[in-house]
Amino acid sequence: MATVLTQLAPSITNLIRLDHTHVAATFHQYETTLSDRLKRGIVDSVCLSLETHAQLEEEIFYPVLRLVFDNDLMRKSPVEHDEMRTLIARLRQMVTTDPMFDESFFELMRLVMHHVADEESQLLPAAERLIPEQLQDMGARFAKRRFEMMASRGGEYAGSFARSLSPRMLMSTATTLLNGGFLMVRHGPMARPWTRRSAF
- Return the number of the residue (44 or 57) whose C-beta is nearest Fe ion: 57
Provide, rounded to whole angstroms, the least separation between the CB of residue 159 and Fe ion. Answer: 24
Provide, rounded to whole angstroms, the least separation between the CB of residue 116 and Fe ion. Answer: 6
Q: Is 43 exposed, middle or buried (0-12, 13-18, 19+ CB in 10 A)?
A: buried
With CB under 5 A as the contact rule, which of the stretches 49-57, 67-75, 136-144, 161-169 interacts with Fe ion? 49-57
Provide, rounded to whole angstroms, the least separation between the CB of residue 189 and Fe ion. Answer: 40
Provide, rounded to whole angstroms, the least separation between the CB of residue 171 and Fe ion. Answer: 32
- Return the number of the residue (44 or 119) whose C-beta is nearest Fe ion: 119
- Return the number of the residue (38 or 65) whose C-beta is nearest Fe ion: 65
Provide, rounded to whole angstroms, the least separation between the CB of residue 181 and Fe ion. Answer: 36
With CB under 5 A as the contact rule, which of the stretches 38-46, 57-65, 86-94, 134-142 interacts with Fe ion? 57-65
Query: What number of chain residues touch Fe ion (CB under 5 A)?
Result: 2
Among 12, 50, 57, 91, binds Fe ion (CB under 5 A): 57
* HEC profile of the chain: CHHHHHHHCCCHHHHHHHHHHHHHHHHHCCCCCCCHHHHHHHHHHHHHHHHHHHHHHHHHHHHHHHCCCCCHHHHHHHHHHHHHHHHHHHHHHCCCCCCCHHHHHHHHHHHHHHHHHHHHHHHHHHHHHHCHHHHHHHHHHHHHHHHHHHHHCHHHHHHHHHHCCCHHHHHHHHHHHHHHHHHHHHHCCCCCHHHCCCCC
Contact code string over 77-116 relative to Fe ion, x by CB under 5 A: ----------------------------------------
- Name which of 16, 70, 44 is nearest 162 in CA terms: 44
* Binding residues among 165-194 for Fe ion as defined by CB under 5 A: none
- Judged by the rule CB under 5 A, the positions of this chain that interact with Fe ion are 57, 119
